[in-house]
Amino acid sequence: MDNTRQRAFTRLQRTLGQLRSGRYAESKVSRGATHPMLKLTEEVKSALSEDKPVVALESTIISHGMPYPQNVETARRVENMVRSNGAIPATIAILEGKIHVGLTPKQLETLGALGEKCRKCSRRDLALAVSQKANGATTVAATMYIASLAKIPVFVTGGIGGVHRGVEETLDISADLTELGRTSVAVVCAGAKSILDIPRTLEFLETQGVPVVAYQTNEFPAFFTPKSGCLAPLRLDSPKEIAKFLHAAGQLYLQNGAVIAVPVPKDQAGDAGLIKRTTTQALNEVIEKKIKGRDITPYLLDRINQLTGGHSLKANINLVLNNAKIGTKVAVELAKLRSPSL
């Protein structure tokens, strides 16, 4: 191994060790202290130290989910939704190798302008991105992990990844699902992305011991549309009920996360028939073009947006804003339970 590769390997090993030591030595960290590899904004740091509600937000939806500048505009609207409902937003991303929990307006603009030039980072990519001082947008899995390091219990996103169609041949299962099985963060979303095999996604979550709670509905939502045809395993009807459930899970020291599935409002949803037709066409194109791995989801979402004439993107923005509203209300109620003085 030449010197350059040896130095890179050494940096990677050091980064992995630092992440691991921070995760498993939490009992030795004083109350209010932050993980040494995280850069928190003063606003986020202050809120956490005072046990005020903070909501984690991912960054892949900004870099890979929407075009610029619509991505930045949407990110700002989501952060404003969190603030208007009583919590502090903490958008998570990696900029020049630094893991940020909370972004300044300038950093948010930078992330949005970089777009797909940012590395798409799941859990497995975090150490490499940090060691190489790269720019990275965090997926659901990576955002969950970093939120847990920062001690943020509620995370809002658009939709989770899941079991891909054709899994019998590809074994393509999102790392989001395994992360939900081992990281104690609640993920508020509009269900699994409709491009996925939703029945198998729900089965996989059950195997991982992950509770799936539908909000005010008996049916698991399908991202762009409020109905998937699959019954939800659990149902709760208010942010307070959900907060009590999450608080009890924390008291039991359960190490898994939870899916809080919030259907997009019917008047803001995508047209179910149109979404189904365009999804089928886009999936066929993926097979024809032999698109693989992490490139599949961005391609499908972009192609469906093209085929629907922007209809799906509008629904995507609507559902993210709705998730932010409900997720923030849950975070506020959970903070009250954890710190009755609030």
User: Would you please indicate which residues are annotated as catalytic (active-site) residues?
Assistant: 58, 193
**Contact of 278 with 307, CB cutoff 8 Å:** yes
**Contact of 184 with 255, CB cutoff 8 Å:** yes
Cα–Cα distances in angstroms (integers) from residue 34 to residues 9, 40, 279, 321, in the given order: 26, 8, 42, 29
Sign of torsion, CA 198 200 204 207? positive
Residue with tokens 């060691």: 131
C-alpha R_g of the chain:
19
Cα–Cα distances in angstroms (integers) from residue 37 to residues 23, 46, 50, 229, in the given order: 11, 17, 21, 43
Strands (E), 185-297: 186-189, 212-215, 234-236, 258-261
As a whole number of angstroms, the distance between CA 329 and CA 85 comes to 7
**Contact of 165 with 128, CB cutoff 8 Å:** no
**How, if at all, do strands 98-101 and 212-215 pair?**
unpaired
**Contact of 275 with 308, CB cutoff 8 Å:** yes
Question: Taking the mean position of all CA atoms in its chain, how far away is CA 37?
Answer: 20
As a whole number of angstroms, the distance between CA 67 and CA 274 comes to 21
